[in-house]
């Protein structure tokens, strides 16, 4: 009976080891998939970030250009000099100081 019992215990150990091996394999696969998904999200965010930085650069350049055009225009526009006394026009360079560099 003890030989039979010992054989049965060995079988149980083998089955348990196999079960644990399969569970560990499944767990590793899940972790790998999670890591892959996070990496894809990271890559996507990096691309979006680069794109937004490029857009900010273009808009900053455009704002500088328009600010210069406005300054040049203010020098020669009599209408602006009259309305400046009544209305405060927000200056683009004032806005520029608020933007992140």
Q: What is the pLDDT of residue 68?
A: 95
Percent of the chain with pLDDT over 70: 75
CA Rg, the chain, in Å? 35
> Is the pLDDT assigned to residue 61 strictly greater than 50?
yes
Q: What is the pLDDT of residue 32?
A: 98
pLDDT in tens, 3-34: 777 888 899 999 999 999 999 999 999 999 99
Q: What is the pLDDT of residue 17?
A: 96
**CA–centroid distance for 68 within its chain:** 33
**CA–centroid distance for 44 within its chain:** 7
Model's pTM, two decimal places? Answer: 0.53
């Amino acid at each position: 009976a003890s030989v039979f019992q010992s054989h049965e215990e060995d079988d149980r150990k083998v089955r348990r080891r196999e079960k644990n091996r399969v569970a560990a394999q499944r767990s590793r696969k899940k972790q790998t998939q999670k890591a892959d998904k996070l990496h894809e999200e990271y890559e996507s965010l990096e691309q979006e970030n680069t794109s937004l930085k490029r857009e900010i650069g273009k808009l900053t350049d455009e704002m500088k250009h328009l600010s210069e055009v406005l300054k040049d225009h203010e020098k020669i526009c009599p209408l602006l000099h009259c309305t400046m006394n009544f209305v405060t026009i927000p200056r683009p360079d004032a806005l520029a100081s608020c933007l992140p560099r």
